[in-house]
Amino acid sequence: MFLNKIAYFMKKNIVYSPSKISILISSIIMSSGVFAKPSVNIEHIDKGGIYSQKNSYVSESGFISINDGGMFSAESGLFVGQNHTQSNTASAINIVGTGSLLDVTGSVFLGNSSHGYQSDNTVSIKQGGALNINGMLSLARASGDSTNLVIDGTGSSLLLDKINTNSIIYVGDSGKATLDITNGGKLAARQLYISRVSGSKGSVSVEGAKSAIDVNELVVGNNDDGTLSVTDGADVVLDNGNGNLYIANTGASHGIVKVGNGAGAGHLTVKNIKFGQGDGKLEFDFNDPHLVFSANLQGKGTLNKSGKGELVITGENSYFSGITRVENGMLQINDGVSKNKLGGDVFILSNGLLSTSSSSVLGNINNQGKVIFDQDLNESYAQKISGSGELVKDGTGDLVLVGDDSAFNGMTSVKDGMLQVGDAQGNGKLGGNINVASNAELKGNSESLDADIHTDGKTTFIQNSDDNYEHQLTGKGIFIKDGSGTLTFLRDNTLYDGTISIKNGSINVGVNGGHGVLGGSVDINKNASLLGNTNSIQGNVTANGQVIFDQKSDGTFSRAISGTGDLIKEGGERLILLGDNSHFSGNTTISNGTLQISDVNGSGVLGGNVLAQKNSSLTGQGDITGNITIAVGATHLPGGAGNNAQYIHGNYTNYGTLHELGNQQSVTHVIVGGNVDITNSKLDLTLTPDEAFSWSNINDPLLLIDNKGKNSIVGHFNEVNTNLLFLTPFIDYEGGDGNDLTITYTRNDLSFSDFAKTENQKNAASAIDNLSGINPIWQDVATLTSTQQIRSELDKLSGEIHPAVHSVLINNTHYLSDAMNDRLRNIGGDKRSEFNYGEQVASEEMIDESVIWSRGYGSWEETNATSNTAKLNTDSHGVLLGLDIPKPYGRLGVTFGHGISNLNENRNHSSGSIGTYYAGIYGGSKWDNLLLRSGVGISWNSISTTRKPELTHYYDSLSANYKARTGQLYGELGYKVYNTESFTVEPFVNGQYVYEQIDSFSETGKEAALNVRGATAAVPISKIGVRVDKQFNIKNIESNVFGTIGWEHVYGNTSPKSSVSFTGSDTFTVRGVPLSSDTALVEAGVSTHIKDHIDATLSYKSQLANDSKEHNIWANISMHF
């Protein structure tokens, strides 16, 4: 049917199947089911068409298009997608253009298929078109239907009469439906359900500025899945802001309300949001700067904030018991005016921020991002805080955390106001790290503050019980210790540079189990105390209470101490106070160990009075402005190692010990400005001059107490002790200017030799004792303080090295005699004139050959210390050359050579060297197996010695150069008891006579130099033993091995001596290391015939005695012709 212009067609019921109706300009079709105005097009209605009686139906693939102001009026309802006879059909209604209207009286069902068929239905309201319904609107009425309703454009609208109690929109009534409102489209109804029954799915999207939903009540997910999305400036208003929004009503439902889509947010104006029994979510996802949300949340759901924008919730949300998640941006609870609350637990993700007050959050907080408590009122927070994010206390109000927040390990920043962790009942604990700003305050104790603290403001520990603080304190703020308990620091807090105020109780740092260090200055109130040591207390101390230095090791405190309280020195070791402590006017008590005022380089001062108790001591050169009392059993050592005075401005009372150090020129002493009382005290004098020269005026008085007061000294010493063995002090209690205390030393009756032990020591002591009293050597010995010192220094002064040279010269004669004697052993044996002595050769004529030979030696000898002498070490080396020729009676030869010996007495700091030139003549004969060997020799010796006596108060470097000569004559008989071509055994006996002559000389040096007289000595020596020799061939090379074992005896007095004297002293005898009386001789060697006329030998010889050991290596080569 086609109607154009003005056409009027009326029928009670119109059924077109299939047909097309075009209703054009001013054409009207009227029926009991349809009312139409101009510009309404109804097209493509087929397969059953329109059945209009009291109701209108668009069935199966029907299509209604209302354009350009046309109007479709259905008086008894509208059914789209009704009574299908097949599946997968589509129906559509398009209302396009300003003035285009579909006006329905009664209910509208979009998607109401039957017979088990499914339909897909679409309704589009665009460009100002409108759908008005006086009744209910159902989208996807049947479970298998799918319906999509679009309201797009300014002026486009879907309006239901809100007065009508049946003015309800179901998006997803039983099937699946979507409702999209965009670009200024509007929807109005009394109620809006998104997903009504189980199995339904509903989704509503409101997007863009001026796009709006205006309903009195809204349900998202009544029995199944429902979604509402409000984005980009769109508005959803419920009953002018007084309506309720229900999310996930039943246990099987899922409801999601999204405000924003990552860019712009919409506006959800509602009074209450009620989460039902299902899975309900309210999500804010926007990047707009700021959004205020004032609805009240109730029930158990999820509030999720994402996007970079700031969300402010101002509703009363205390009945919300679900979860709040802040994934990104900021969530602010209350706007600073309304004091609303948010129930349930809050989770702040790494990019999230929560800004609130403590009273606004009723649940626990898991903080991986940032939480700001902006407190203008004094409030508490009793729930748990966990996570690793940042916790910020801001605002001028006080915040008290009384929950267990130990699981929080992030950073807490106190920017303003006061943060208190814990209460009087012991509730509350905070972990992580804490930063206190300059205008902020932190309160707690060691139990509640389980965190490192950086404070530039004020931090107060209210410590009523003894406990340890195991974390680190840094910053420049004020740390206050309050409460009656003891707070022990266990960490190194040297980076703290603020002020510590101890109002009550005690702080322990570094002692009694504490290992901490405390930086910054310390202010101790009356009835409070600080216990530490010089390692643990790093800053200035104002002590109006007690400061206790417990020194388990020596320590120096170089900062200032002031105040009116008590300074107590405990611990067995030394406390050194440096700097100006004159502003301290309290009392100092030394209960143990030593208190030293200043060091040798300082001029420290200590104010107030000082008491040294039993088993303690006071020392140093720093001034003390008050009185000093030295109790019985205590010691005062003024000046200390600095050998200076200590000025006591007040009274000096000493009932213990006054210990003075120094020397004749500068002794430690006390300067007293008040009265002096030394009744029944003891005087200990330890005078150890750096150099004996300082004792040039041994009898001058020494000032011990310089009494500046007007009164005389009260009392006397009941005991006087001195460390000097040979000087006795005399005490004058009225010395100096009449009321000073002085001492004078005089030589006592003890002899230096009374403390000597050995002969050398006693002889040297007697000689030194006879020197003048101004001689530094005498002064050194006279001022010694121990027997061990005396004996050691007498040994160093005695010159023991000089007689020791005698022994070395006599012993060295064997290098020449051994070389000559070994050459003569070939008679009757070695025809090649080698030093080996048993080899048999085939040609007897070779005994008539002449031989040129050379021999090198090296030896080292150790002579043990005796009761009178020090150990002597000697090493020697040299070379000898010789020629021997055949004679009718045997052989005759000559030799000469040079050797060097070095000797050392380490104990006496003495050493020397001997350079020797040798010359000798030797000869031998043979009668069958009997052999005679003999020789004579002389040695010329140049001797140099050095002594460096390093004494207690004296040092010298001494040297000497002098000459000596030794001569010797020896003879030996040997008999070959076994003699074959390859093996020989020869017992022997040897006699030697040695004569020694040493020139006199004087050492070069200072007062310790010795004058040494010349001396001679004659020493007989005998040897007995047996030699063996074995010949063998290696690859036709003739060789042999040989050995000797024997015994040597030295006759007469084996202890050499020298007569010596100091300049100005008597001559005294000093003895050196003795010659060994009995010595075992051992020799082993090998010789070989290298080539024609050339032989080589290598041998080892040793001389072993109880008191000495000498080892020799000999190497020789000989050529015969």
Could you tell me if 489 and 511 are in contact, meaning their C-beta atoms sit under 8 angstroms apart? no
Could you tell me if 920 and 897 are in contact, meaning their C-beta atoms sit under 8 angstroms apart? no
Average pLDDT, the chain: 88
Structure tokens at 1020: 């007989």
Residue 747 scores a pLDDT above 80: yes
Helix or strand run (H / E) with residue 815: helix 814-823
**CATH no. of 793-822+898-914+927-1120:** 2.40.128.130
SS3 call for 818: helix
More confident residue, 247 or 1117: 247
Residue 113's pLDDT band, with cuts at 50, 70 and 90, is low
Spatial distance between the Cα atoms of 602 and 278, rounded to a whole number of angstroms: 82
Residue 41 scores a pLDDT above 90: no
Residue 742 scores a pLDDT above 60: yes
Which of 152-156, 522-526, 783-787 is predicted with the least confidence, judged by mean pLDDT?
Answer: 783-787
- What single-letter DSSP state applies at residue 739? T
762 φ/ψ angles, rounded to the nearest 5 degrees: -65, -40
Tell which residue, 925, 753, 849, 770, has the closest CA to residue 1121: 849
Position 88 scores a pLDDT of 65
**In this structure, are strands 296-298 and 302-306 parallel, antiparallel, or unpaired?**
unpaired
Residue 835's pLDDT band, with cuts at 50, 70 and 90, is very low
Position 161 scores a pLDDT of 87
| Spatial CB neighbours of 507, under 8 Å, sequence gap ≥ 6 | 481, 486, 487, 488, 489, 500, 518, 522, 529, 530, 531, 532
Position 3 scores a pLDDT of 40
More confident residue, 701 or 410: 410
Position 49 scores a pLDDT of 34
Residue 414 scores a pLDDT above 70: yes
Residue 18 scores a pLDDT above 90: no
Residue 11 scores a pLDDT above 50: no
- pLDDT tens for 431-482 read 999 999 999 999 999 999 999 999 999 999 999 999 999 999 999 999 999 9
Residue 828 scores a pLDDT above 70: no
Token pair 């006596």 in the structure block, residue: 949
Could you tell me if 516 and 563 are in contact, meaning their C-beta atoms sit under 8 angstroms apart? no
Position 335 scores a pLDDT of 64
Helix or strand run (H / E) with residue 764: helix 759-769
**pLDDT above 90: percentage of residues in the chain:** 69
Position 513 scores a pLDDT of 67
Helix or strand run (H / E) with residue 735: strand 727-735
- pLDDT tens for 903-955 read 999 999 999 999 999 999 999 999 989 999 999 999 999 999 999 998 888 88
Give the mean pLDDT of 52-60: 50
Residue 111 scores a pLDDT above 80: no
Structure tokens at 948: 């460096």
Structure tokens at 300: 């158990």
Position 75 scores a pLDDT of 83
Give the mean pLDDT of 128-144: 91
- pLDDT tens for 161-217 read 888 888 999 999 999 999 999 999 999 999 999 999 998 999 999 999 999 999 999
Q: Three-state SS across 26-64?
A: CEEEECCCCEECCCEEEEEECCCCCCCCCCEEEECCCEE
**pLDDT above 70: percentage of residues in the chain:** 88
pTM listed for this prediction: 0.67
One-letter amino acid identity for 153? Answer: G
Residue 236 scores a pLDDT above 60: yes
Which of 326-340, 750-764, 978-992 is predicted with the least confidence, judged by mean pLDDT?
Answer: 326-340
SS3 call for 104: strand
- pLDDT tens for 241-251 read 999 999 999 98
Break the chain into its structural domains and give their ranges: 38-62+87-288, 551-747, 793-822+898-914+927-1120
Judge residue 719's burial from the number of C-beta atoms within 10 Å of its C-beta, 0-12 exposed, 13-18 middle, 19 or more buried.
exposed
Residue 420 scores a pLDDT above 80: yes
- pLDDT tens for 541-580 read 999 999 999 999 999 999 999 999 999 999 999 999 998 9
Judge residue 83's burial from the number of C-beta atoms within 10 Å of its C-beta, 0-12 exposed, 13-18 middle, 19 or more buried.
middle
Spatial distance between the Cα atoms of 730 and 746, rounded to a whole number of angstroms: 8
Beta carbons within 10 angstroms of residue 396's beta carbon? 14
CA distances from 1112 to 833, 853, 877, 966, 993 (A): 22, 19, 9, 21, 22
Which of 666-680, 690-704, 752-766 is predicted with the least confidence, judged by mean pLDDT?
Answer: 690-704
One-letter amino acid identity for 97? Answer: G
Residue 603 scores a pLDDT above 80: no
